């Protein structure tokens, strides 16, 4: 497991989201047999992140720069603007038409309900991975549907879980 986690980071930096999800899950569920090796590998993880994020030549270091503007570092207000811009882009599905934006916001809301249910009850590790993955996308300088491709199965799963829960609640309200 540990080798897979480290390998996922070495392949692409988005692997940090899987590493963080497993670490938080292990601490949350008090899995001591996982926590100690994962914390021990944090030294190697820190080296990878330092090498990739803070090296001026590495691709991930672009998180700290403005996209398409060579050498221009981002400041805190610019970083907040990037996060809010990315959030709106992903929550509305990159749609420009108002009706499509509303439909995507509804889809996103139902997906969030399904995510919350699974975080608390069923698949906490999947939910944590999904949350860290999306958090990574929020700070990434570029936007695009292509970045969501690896988590489309999770998006659909959380949407249907949320839809099922909403229908279940609406049936209880009608019976009352």
Q: What pLDDT digit, counting tens, does each position of 131-164 carry? A: 999 998 898 888 888 888 888 989 999 999 999 9
pLDDT greater at residue 125 or residue 113: 113
Joined together, the tokens standing for residue 145 give 């549907």
> Which residues, in sequence order, are bridge partners of residue 65?
73
The answer, yes or no, to whether residue 60 has pLDDT greater than 70, is no
CA distance 133 to 150: 10
3-state SS, residue 73: strand
> Which residues, in sequence order, are bridge partners of residue 69?
none
pLDDT greater at residue 6 or residue 158: 158
- pTM beyond 0.85, yes or no: no
CA distance 64 to 102: 32
Helix (H) or strand (E) holding 82: helix 76-91
Residue among 161, 165, 90, 163 nearest 123 (CA): 161
CA distance 104 to 126: 22
Most confident of 61-65, 104-108, 122-126: 104-108
pLDDT band at 94 (very low <50, low <70, confident <90, very high): confident
% of the chain with per-residue pLDDT over 70: 71
pLDDT greater at residue 36 or residue 77: 77
Q: How does DSSP classify residue 125?
A: H
pLDDT tens track for 74-87: 778 888 888 999 99
How deeply is 11 buried, as exposed, middle or buried, from its count of CB atoms within 10 A (0-12, 13-18, 19+)?
A: exposed
């Amino acid at each position: 497991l540990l080798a897979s986690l480290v390998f996922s980071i070495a392949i692409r930096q988005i692997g940090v989201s899987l590493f963080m999800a497993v670490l938080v899950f292990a601490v949350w569920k008090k899995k001591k047999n996982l926590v100690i090796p994962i914390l021990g590998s944090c030294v190697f993880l820190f080296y990878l992140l330092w090498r990739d994020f803070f090296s001026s030549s590495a691709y991930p270091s672009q998180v700290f720069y403005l996209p398409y503007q060579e050498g221009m570092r981002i400041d805190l207000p610019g970083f907040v603007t990037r996060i809010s811009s990315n959030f709106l882009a992903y929550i509305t599905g990159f749609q420009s038409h108002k009706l499509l934006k509303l439909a995507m916001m509804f889809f996103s809301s139902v997906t969030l309900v399904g995510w919350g249910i699974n975080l608390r009850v069923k698949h906490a590790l999947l939910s944590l991975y999904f949350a860290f993955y999306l958090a990574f996308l929020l700070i990434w300088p570029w936007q695009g549907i292509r970045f969501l491709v690896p988590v489309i199965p999770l998006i659909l799963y959380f949407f249907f879980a949320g839809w099922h829960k909403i229908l279940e609640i609406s049936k209880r309200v009608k019976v009352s």
